[in-house]
Structure 1
Amino acid sequence: MTETTGNPLFDYSPIIERPALSWPGGARVAVYIGLNIEHFHLGRPSTSIWPGTADLVPDPLNHGWRDYGVRVGIWRTIDSLDRHGMRASALLNSEAADHYPQIITAGVERDWAWLAHGQTNSILHTGLEREQERHVLAGIVDKIAAATGRGPQGWMGPGLTETANTPALLAELGLSYVLDWTNDDQPYRLNVPGMLSVPYTVELNDLLLFSRGITGPEFVRIVRDQHEQLRADARTGGRVLALALHPFVIGQAFRARYLDEALAYLAAQPDVWLTTSDEIAEHYRHTVVDAGQRV
């Protein structure tokens, strides 16, 4: 019997009642890096390290903090990913493709997965009428495809925002999953033909963790704790560990060693599948959805 949630996008599915989910090679935990590559508008309040100047125009304090990520921080982050053989799942504002072509080139050379992350993180993806949204989404998808040579398969809205029509419109454009609904440790089907939800996280997320005063060593311990618990849970079916990174946060010089330690730990685990969100969605579709399992 299908259990409703009050949300027409998905049904209630307790993880204890699902068929066991398997990952390639017998892995227990699928690990992907959600690397946020974002463009922010000068003079528009957005993610801030200090709200006291956020409404000023210009706001050098906060805009400069954000801008550090694409100028400096991302290159440290890329170096760490390279050292440990990890490909990013790049959560790409389409405007970033215009402003930071060197980052796009670096990602293409490394075969990153490219996800649509709205136009800019200065504007939430909300308040759009259906036809207006169709036009906006088509423009986002087309720009990312032109810049990277690959149409995005996944979506995460700026600030994890959607409208009620977003998943269906994305499916029309050829996308197959969203990350916005951070309510599970496994992928699941949405009530939109062809669309999945793939786990993302606002908890194992550098922006949220460090803004709460977490230190570098504590960050490494949190990553280890997340993996250890998910590995234990995976006795009844594979789990997903998503690690969400923002280069203007994790790319700060004094945090670089702790990202490196966390990635080294994950890369050394024999039960981990180092992968991308695209590959997680594809594997789930082939082994669960196409096999007709009820989840």
Structure 2
Amino acid sequence: MTDPNLYDYNPYSARPKIAWPEGKKLAFWLAPNIEFYEFDPPRNPKRPGWPRPAPDVTGYAQRDYGNRVGHWRLMEAMDRHDLRGSVSLNVAMCDHCPEIIEACAQRGWEFFSHGVYNTRYSYEMDEAQERAVIEDSIRTVEAATGQRIRGYLAPALTHTTRTLDLIAEYDFWYTCDLFQDDQPQPVKTKTGRLLSMPYSLEVNDVITYGQLAMDPWRYADVLKRQFDQLLKEGEASGTVMCIPLHAYLVSQPHRLRAFETALAHIRAHGDEVWFATAQEIAGHVRDHYWDAIQDDLDDKGLKTGGTAFDAWSQP
């Protein structure tokens, strides 16, 4: 296997131009991950629930800090900069911490599915189980918030070969599980119009703080440089910047002020930036550019055919 055939190749600089509303150059969205990690989760044969032997009191407590303290601090910071979130939600949080969900909904934030628990992986699920997770996500979030979710980020970034086809079948508009581009791009699925939404690992605080142990001020500088470059490129065709966040990391007292300097820098370019939710960005591309992108691929002879993960099933 050389290519899972998830999307067609189309060079960044030679595509149909994307224009954001009001002529904005860059679409900016924030993705707070509101998650629940079970103290002693069921064992998955392909991946342990915790890096250390379970039950992991330290790991659990660190993540619980995000739900008890960090999310409230992050919401207040985003309020100060008049920014909404698109919440990557472990939907069990609607039962465990409904106060957080209510506070986000009152602010007009979007919700999208990040599975039920971040310790329940998609690996080894059969189709019925995976459908149950998707249907539970739709039903639970709608009951708690009135929203019909349109986005999906697989729990702990774990998938099966059918995941993308299934979420497209259930009329999801975007997936955050692919990291191949700085513009929304079509994903090959059997049905629907599913987009790959830019969701960066490079500026994800799990990577910058959790793996790279960045200084908070260096992280703020990375965010500013990421933004400046994407804004410049957006002069030619609209780009997207996402900052994925985890409140147990970014909302630590010694880190928050540095993060807010990055938000202030981005906010200062408000005449050039569309501050949106992921659903709004996906809806704009689906409504205005889906056909143009597909026609462009046809004209260039770049379409390879098939659907997502076709190559994975080849002998």
TM-score over 0.5 for the pair: yes
1:113-150, Cα deviation, whole Å (9 max, x unpaired): 11010111112222222233112221222112111111
CA distance in 1, matches of 2:161, 2:226: 31
Q: Indicate the residue corresponding to 1:30 in structure 2.
A: 27
Equivalences for residues 64-213 of structure 1 within 5 A: 64-192=61-189, 193-211=192-210, 212-213=212-213
CA distance in 2, matches of 1:38, 1:242: 18
Q: CA RMSD in A?
A: 1.7
| Aligned residue identity for 1:55 | P
Number of equivalences? 286
Deviation at 1:293, TM superposition (A): 4.8
| Aligned residue identity for 2:245 | L
CA distance in 2, matches of 1:149, 1:81: 22
User: Is the contact made by 1:126 and 1:162 (CA closer than 8 Å) also made in structure 2?
Assistant: yes
Q: Indicate the residue corresponding to 2:231 in structure 1.
A: 231
Deviation at 1:236, TM superposition (A): 2.4
User: Is the contact made by 2:186 and 2:196 (CA closer than 8 Å) also made in structure 1?
Assistant: yes
Paired residue secondary structure (1:194): coil
Gaps of 5+ in 2: 42-47, 298-315
CA distance in 2, matches of 1:294, 1:191: 15
CA distance in 2, matches of 1:82, 1:287: 31
CA distance in 1, matches of 2:53, 2:128: 32
User: Is the contact made by 1:37 and 1:92 (CA closer than 8 Å) also made in structure 2?
Assistant: yes
CA distance in 2, matches of 1:46, 1:70: 19
Moved over 3 A (4+): 44-47, 290-293
CA distance in 1, matches of 2:98, 2:188: 36
Paired residue secondary structure (1:31): strand
Paired residue secondary structure (1:6): coil
Paired residue secondary structure (1:279): helix
1:246-291, Cα deviation, whole Å (9 max, x unpaired): 0100111111111211111111113211111111101111110155
Q: Indicate the residue corresponding to 1:276 in structure 2.
A: 277
CA distance in 2, matches of 1:157, 1:8: 19
Equivalences for residues 11-26 of structure 1 within 5 A: 11-26=8-23
CA distance in 2, matches of 1:275, 1:220: 21
Deviation at 1:60, TM superposition (A): 2.2
| Aligned residue identity for 2:209 | F
User: Is the contact made by 1:19 and 1:293 (CA closer than 8 Å) also made in structure 2?
Assistant: no
User: Is the contact made by 1:84 and 1:263 (CA closer than 8 Å) also made in structure 2?
Assistant: yes
Equivalences for residues 259-274 of structure 1 within 5 A: 259-269=259-269, 270-274=271-275
Bigger mean CA deviation after superposition, 101-110 or 253-262: 253-262
Bigger mean CA deviation after superposition, 264-273 or 64-73: 264-273
Paired residue secondary structure (1:36): strand
Deviation at 1:103, TM superposition (A): 0.7
Q: Indicate the residue corresponding to 1:294 in structure 2.
A: 296
User: Is the contact made by 2:184 and 2:198 (CA closer than 8 Å) also made in structure 1?
Assistant: yes
CA distance in 1, matches of 2:114, 2:214: 26
Cα distance, 1:293–1:107 mapped onto 2, change above 3 Å:
farther
User: Is the contact made by 2:150 and 2:172 (CA closer than 8 Å) also made in structure 1?
Assistant: yes
CA distance in 2, matches of 1:293, 1:224: 35
| Aligned residue identity for 2:204 | N
CA distance in 1, matches of 2:142, 2:170: 12
User: Is the contact made by 2:29 and 2:242 (CA closer than 8 Å) also made in structure 1?
Assistant: yes
Query: Do residues 55 (structure 1) and 56 (structure 2) align?
Result: no
1:191-234, Cα deviation, whole Å (9 max, x unpaired): 12321111101111111101212111111111110011112222
Q: Indicate the residue corresponding to 1:245 in structure 2.
A: 245
Q: TM-score, normalised by structure 2?
A: 0.86
Deviation at 1:46, TM superposition (A): 4.5
CA distance in 2, matches of 1:124, 1:13: 32
| Aligned residue identity for 1:261 | T
1:55-81, Cα deviation, whole Å (9 max, x unpaired): 142x22111101000000001100011
CA distance in 1, matches of 2:230, 2:15: 16
User: Is the contact made by 1:141 and 1:151 (CA closer than 8 Å) also made in structure 2?
Assistant: yes
